[in-house]
Structure formats: structure tokens, C-alpha cells
Chains A and B, each alone.
Chain A
Amino acid sequence: MSAPVVLSDVAQAFSGRGEKRLAIDGVSITVDAGEFVAIVGPSGCGKSTILDLIAGHTRPKRGSVTVGGVTVAGPGPDRMLVFQEHALFPWLSVADNVGFGLKATGVDAAERDEVVQTWLAKVGLADAASLHPHELSGGMRQRAALARAFAMRPEVLLMDEPFSALDAPSRDRLHVELQELWSETGTTIVFVTHNVREAVALGDRVIVLSSGPGTVVGEVKVKLARPRVVESARVVATAQQVRGLLDEADQMGIRTPREQGDGYVSI
């Protein structure tokens, strides 16, 4: 199951700040059904705001956001958001966490059990079903969060730097697993990251944003064979190309923070 996502000429302010600063301005992005799109940019460029808009946690100040041709009016189980922190419910077991959304949307117990078992097995957590989140490693927690999102069979999966707090080996494994799950389910994925190599390794297409306020400065199609890993020479070469776009934006006077700066973008 998958649906196309279309943002046209969207502007949105950062939420909950006294002075309303624009997070993104004039952003237009089209994601085809079943496409895996990575959005990369420095911190503060409104990447997370874009996901919030698609998820329906905020409404755009200007422009429109549609999923499957329908304007987004609020959060819904057709769009799952995976956060940088796992956001698992600490008082529930892993199995209950994965089954939470199914229970909330009225799936009966027998079917729920089956779906939960299936997804726990797929992310390699079958043995950890009865453990609580605090008894898992960082990588396992993020796997559980992935299983919880996929178990809802979303049309669109929105991922907000989900692996950036993980150690490198866990991250590399999850990159490969995510690509496998994506090709198996065909879900549309919008993956936000500040890591250029990660974006190139995962995306069919990498959309490059600049900050202050966020605008699209270009995009790079990635046609390498999957599953890709961040160390592969081709991924690194394409990452240079994406990095070039970020630098260009910098020279155009659009601020892209540089090395050691606050929002430095690593290749």
C-alpha cells in the first residue's frame, strides 16, 4: 500500500516560539507512490517541519499538502511517523508497543497478535517480545519503533532522522533492513536526515534543502543497485554531488553552515 505525497508552495513557521520565524518557505515536493525519497539539509532547515506537515501534526501557513490526492487535515494511521528518539511507550512490552496502533484502531486481538508476531520476526525482535523498551539496546528500540510503524500498514512512512542516535554498526544494519522492508511493502517513504551519505544510500532521490528559511535547492536521482551501504564508493561519489549542491547554495548567499559550525552537514 502506498500513496503519493505532494507539497505545493508550502510555507510554515516554527511552532511554539514567541517570534514567528519561517521554518520553510515556498517548498514544493512531489513524491510518487512507493517512492523512497530522502530529504537532506543542515539542522534548522525545516526538515522535521515538512514531516510534521505530512503527518498532520501542523497545518501549513501557506500552500497545500496532499497525500493520495486528499488534503491532510490531521494525523491518521495511513501516515506513520518514526522519530529520532524511539518514542516507545516505556510502560508497555515490545509486543504491546507494536500492537498499540492496531489496538487503537480497533483491530481484533487474534489478528493483532498475528500481525505483531509477523513484524517482530521481520525486525529480528521475536525473542524480545515480552521485554520492556528499557531492556533493549538503542538499535533494538529503533527496530521496535520501525515494527510499530510498519505494523499499521501505512501508505506513507515518515522518518525523522531515525538512525542518527545509533552506533555505526547498528545504523548500517538498519539501512539494509529498511531497504528490504521498503521493497517488500512498497510503502512510500520520506526519510529526513542531515547525513548526506545516508540520504544517498537510502533514497531513490535525494532532495537538498538549504536553511533559513528552508527552500529546495536541488535534487539528485540515485540509480545505484540496492541494497546500498554508506561506505560503497558509488554512494560516496554521489554524496559528493549532493554536497556540491549544498555548497552552491552556500555561494548563492543562502546560508549552509560549514564544518565545525552549528548545522554542519557531514558527507
Chain B
Amino acid sequence: MSPSDARATVASSPRDLRRGLPILVTGIILLALWAIAAVFADALPGPGETGQELWRMAGDGQLVSIFVRVTLFMGVCFSIAAVVGVLIGLVLSARPAADRGLSPYFAGLQGMPTGMWIPVAAILLGTTPLSLAAVVTIGAMPAIVLGTRNAVRNVPPLLTRAGRTLGADKRTMLRHVVFPAALPGITTGLELGWSIAFRCLVAGEIFSGALSGTGIGAVIQRSRETGELTEMMATIMIVLAFTMLVDRLVFARVQLRLRESRGLIDAGLPH
């Protein structure tokens, strides 16, 4: 195990505290600002009311249910999008003709709001979670495809030359030189794809209450009918907690690992 591995896995508790403290402080400041805003805006429920609502939702299982269903839906859709997207990206970077033909369309699709496909999918495939899952999965792909393809294009030629000199064939080059060299860029593409997928999920929920089966749409529906925002704010808190957890536990960790193992964190080592 290298020292950088040790740094990533063995974190002592004072260090954890030091790292966690700024996140906590920012959180408290945001809650305070929210509380002040709620005093001036009558319709906006404050942190206290929202907390009570969250407590109620935790009690009757709605909180866990939303959390689990969001995790499941996003997990399945994003995993498929990630695998297929990275593969297409690698193929594009190896086949210039395919790249010229397809990349402009991927760029166009990445730029346009994916949610526009939701009505199309809903009518073609029916208003089931399957139709939204299809849109979310395919919608996240262009960003991942282009992220991968651009990352591969930016691999330093010196490394590919070194790989070829050392007798690597095409497969070895792809797996052991190009892919690891492109990994930081691929990760950025994945993060972008993730956020596009999540936007698309909520767009589906706004379009029709039960499209993703996560329960978010039902909450939106109820707050639209009653004009009462407490449950909506509580749901926003649940989703925010979910995205923050994913970032802290997955993306931020992966980025840190990548930067540490590639020497992109200046630790005052010899140059």
C-alpha cells in the first residue's frame, strides 16, 4: 500500500473533525438565513416547521421510502448510462469517422434540455417509471460520451508513445494507458451526466406525478393543490441530503483519490 492510499483510507478522527467543521458551519449559516427569510415570507415554512415535517415523514416511513426509491431509480439509470456512455466515448475516440459523424449530435443533445423528451417517451412507452427511466438513462449519456472522448483526446502523447515503445498492443494501450490517463476527465463527464440525470428525474415528476415512482411528484402535486410548502421543503431537504451524500461519498472521494495518486496535490515533495 502506497502512502497516498494510506492517506485516503486511514483518516484519524481529529482530521475528520477538522474537515467536517467548515461543512457544519456553512450548514448552520444557511439554516439561519433560511429562518430569517421565513420570517419575512409568510408562505415559506422555516427550518423548525420543516424539521417537524421531516420528523413526521421519518415516523410514517415516507422519508426512508423517498430516499430508497430515489437511490434505486438514480442508481440503476446512472449505472447503465455510465457504462454505455464511457464505452461509446472510447469507441468515438478510436474511430475518427464515427467521431465526426456522431459527436456534433451528442453535443447538441447534451446542450438541449433532456426533459423535452419526457412527453414523447410517456406517450410512446406509457406513463410508467420505465419511460422516465429510459429518458433519464439516455439523457445522461451524451455528457458522459463527450467527457470520455475529450478526456481520451487530452491524454499526453508522451504517455501513449511510452506505452507503444514498451510493447503494449491496442487492448493493453486502451486498458492500461489511455483509460487510466483519461480517468480524471471521464469522472468530470460522469458528474455532469449525474446532475443531468437528476434534473431529468424531477422534470418527469413535474410532468406527471408518478412517473419515476419516487414519490417526489406526489409531494409536488399536493403542494400545488394546497399552496402549502412544508412537505415540499422537507422533500427538498431529503433530496439535498441525497445529492450531498453522493458527492461526499462518491465523486469527491474519487476525485481526491485520482489527484493524490497522480501527484496533483502539492505536498512539498521533491521536484
A residues adjacent to B (C-beta < 8 A): 55, 57, 75-77, 79-81, 83, 85, 87-93, 100-101, 103-105, 130-138, 148, 152
Contacts and interface: CB of A to CB of B under 8 A. Distances in A.
Given A104-B169, A135-B269, A91 B158 contact: no
Contacts of A55: 165
A83 B3 contact: no
Nearest to B167: A77
Contact of B263 (A77, A80, A133): A133
B248 interface: no
Nearest to B4: A132
Given A87-B159, A132-B2, A132-B261, A100 B166 contact: yes
Given A77-B166, A105-B167, A132 B161 contact: no
Contacts of A87: 158-159, 161-162
B44 interface: no
B167 A93 contact: no
Interface residues on B, range: 20 to 34
Interface string B145-165: 000000000000011011111
A85 B162 CA distance: 11
Interface in B1-52: 1-4
B263 A89 contact: no
A101 B261 contact: no
Contacts of A148: 166
B167 A76 contact: yes
A62 B163 CA distance: 27
A100 B263 contact: no
A85 to B, nearest CB: 6
B62 interface: no
Interface in B173-187: 176-177, 180-181, 183
Most buried by B among A100, A101, A104, A130: A104
4 closest Cβ pairs, A-B complex: A134-B263, A101-B166, A77-B167, A87-B162
B2 A130 contact: yes
Contacts of A76: 167
A57 B160 CA distance: 11
Given A75-B165, A87-B159, A134-B263, 20 more contacts: A57-B165, A83-B162, A87-B158, A87-B162, A91-B183, A91-B262, A93-B2, A101-B166, A104-B172, A105-B166, A105-B167, A130-B2, A131-B3, A132-B261, A134-B262, A135-B3, A135-B269, A138-B270, A148-B166, A152-B166
Contacts of A91: 180-181, 183, 261-262
21 contacts: A75-B167, A77-B167, A80-B165, A87-B161, A87-B162, A89-B180, A89-B181, A90-B262, A91-B180, A100-B163, A100-B176, A101-B168, A104-B167, A104-B176, A105-B167, A130-B2, A131-B2, A132-B261, A132-B262, A134-B263, A138-B271
